Amino acid sequence: MKILLVFSSLVAATCSKQLFVGDQVLRITPRDEEQISLLKVLGEQEDLQVDFWRHPTSLSHPADLLVPFSSLQEVKSFLEARNIPYSIIMEDVQKLLDEEQKNMTKSRRERSISTFDFGSYHTMEEIFSWMDTLVENHPNLVSKLQIGQSFEDRPLYVLKFSTGGSNRSAIWLDTGTHSREWITQAIGVWTANKIAEEYGQDPSITAILDSMDIFFEVIVNPDGFAFTHSSNRLWRKTRSLNPGSHCIGVDPNRNWDAGFGGSGSSGNSCSDTYRGPYANSEPEVKSIVDFVKSHGNIKAFVSIHSYSQLLLYPYGYTTTPAPDQKELHEISQKAVAALESLYGTKYKYGSIITTIYKASGSTIDWTYNQGIKYSFTFELRDTGRYGFLLPATQIVPTAEETWQALKVIILHARDNLY
């Protein structure tokens, strides 16, 4: 596993096609403090271009050093002259990289749940492929629906978790509305997997799925998501063309028919909060609208974003409190407490407009006005240190803590059907 991680970072760093032909990795075991200092000096010599994969810090821990082919002679002479013991743990780094590249390509094609790494960020194709695997592995619980197509004709897939019945009361979850919020699609995959796993294991999830359905759209904005991988990591909107403008895309969280056109959105197509020419102009949004309306029996709707660590409920377009404000506030308090109990992550909560800012035409304002009382939006980790660029090491902890909060909301909905 460690080697895979190490190579992944090497591969990620080689986007400029840097080669490591003949380069070696040496494992060095310093004998005393002086040797440790010597190694540090070695590491700092710019012309040698050596790279410590494991730094020389103490006598009990060997250091691993990547040495370019051209520096091998000099480095080995240096070590031998000072009696610093070393061994060659990788004879030719490029060879191993090539092998690894082959394996990675192979495992992407592998249709097996157990090899999917939930702790790393994936491409849209990898996520779609994993969805099929999930369905294959849980055929009596999970199915994949297509509710429409994006502007660039990518499929809008929704996973349906159902144990039967006909048009049961349902929960809707979504992630990836704003493409740059990568932590959301990532926890979306983990959570969908969790739901499938927990059925038959966890009593409350089992009870819920025995009476309700769950719909989960993991990638609400596939065009944007593809764009964050190919071109601009910080892209937020859809990728629809705006006639008469060179600027692309509409903010899918300002395109809904609730306070549409208000000052909590922009009329400028170049803006990152551009509302679009009219409500539901974006197929990504319209598909969900059509689905929700025709289903008619959705009781809770949770749309997941990042970052800021907030749990929000309507309204964003008006300061008028939502009629169910008190109940929504209480649920939020419980959900946030459950979330915090895991890793101490602190969340704030409240209505969109009082907690974050005015937002017109946002998703959960529309769903709430449709009668879906339990409409919530999450803003996941962090609070700005990494922002959109949250390290992958935080994916699983974020997913785990968010799951605690989601369960609170889902269970409350189940126990308070209307």
Partner 1 sequence: IPDLGHKYYLQFTTEDYKTGENSGSCLATVLYPKNKSPPVVTIKCVPAKDPKEIQEEDKRLYQKMRHQTKPITGHNIPDSYGNIEPALEPVWALAVAGSSSIMWEKSRENVGYFLAQVKSVKQWIRKDDLLEFDYTVLLHEIPTQEIISCHMRLTWLPSRSLKVKHFCASENQELNEGSGMGSGSAAEVLQERGANF
Residues that bind partner 1 (CB under 8 A): 9, 12, 44, 46-47, 120-121, 182, 228-229, 233-234, 236, 247, 251, 266, 268, 270-273, 356-359, 383-394
Minimum CB–partner distance for residue 390 and partner 1 (Å)? 5
CB of 236 to partner 1, least distance (A): 6
Q: Where does 80-202 show beta strands of DSSP type E? A: 86-90, 142-149, 155-161, 170-175
Alpha carbon distance 31, 227 (integer Å): 51
Radius of gyration of the chain (CA): 25
Residues β-bridged to residue 310 = 348, 379
Closest CB to partner 1 among residues 207, 270: 270
Q: Does the active-site annotation cover 152?
A: no
Amino acid at 15: C
Distance of CA 345 to the CA centre of its chain: 17
State the minimum distance, in angstroms, from the CB of residue 256 to partner 1: 16
* CB nearer to partner 1: pick between 9 and 58: 9
Q: CB 82 → partner 1: shortest distance, Å? A: 21
Query: DSSP alpha helices (H): ranges in 344-394?
Result: 352-355, 363-369
For helices 203-211 and 395-415, give the axis angle rounded to 10 degrees: 50
Choose between 47 and 153: whose C-beta lies nearer to partner 1.
Answer: 47
Identify the CA nearest to 327 among candidates 369, 258, 377, 373. 373
| 127/390 with CB nearer partner 1 | 390
Return the closest-CA partner of residue 310 out of 118, 121, 222, 181. 181
Dist. CA 176–CA 229, nearest whole Å: 13
DSSP string across 189-235: HHHHHHHHHHTTTSHHHHHHHHH-EEEEES-S-HHHHHHHHHT-TT-
CA distance 185 to 347: 20
Name the catalytic one among 91, 379, 400, 401: 379
Closer by beta carbon to partner 1, 271 or else 370: 271
Q: How far is CA 180 from the centre of its chain?
A: 9
Instruction: For residue 50, give every residue at least 6 positions away whose Cβ sits within 8 Å of its Cβ, in sequence order, or none.
Output: 42, 43, 65, 66, 67, 68, 71, 75
Q: Which is nearer to partner 1, 89 or 356 (CB)?
A: 356
Nearest approach, Cβ of 234 to partner 1 (angstroms)? 5
Nearer to partner 1, 229 or 412 (CB): 229
- What is the number of alpha carbons within 13 Å of residue 346 lying toward its C-beta? 1
Least spacing, CB of residue 386 vs partner 1, in Å: 5
DSSP state of 269: T
Candidates 221, 229, 233, 228; CA nearest to 188 is 221
Render the burial of 100-131: b for 16+ CB within 10 Å, e for the rest. Answer: beeeeeeeeeeeebeebbbeebbebebbbbbb
Closer of 139 and 384 to partner 1 (Cβ): 384
- Min dist CB 364 to partner 1, Å, is 17
Q: Which residues make Cβ contacts (< 8 Å) with residue 52, sequence separation at least 6?
A: 43, 63, 64, 65, 66
Q: Taking the complex as a whole, how short is the minimal distance between the CB of residue 88 and partner 1, in angstroms?
A: 24
What amino acid positions are annotated as catalytic residues? Answer: 379
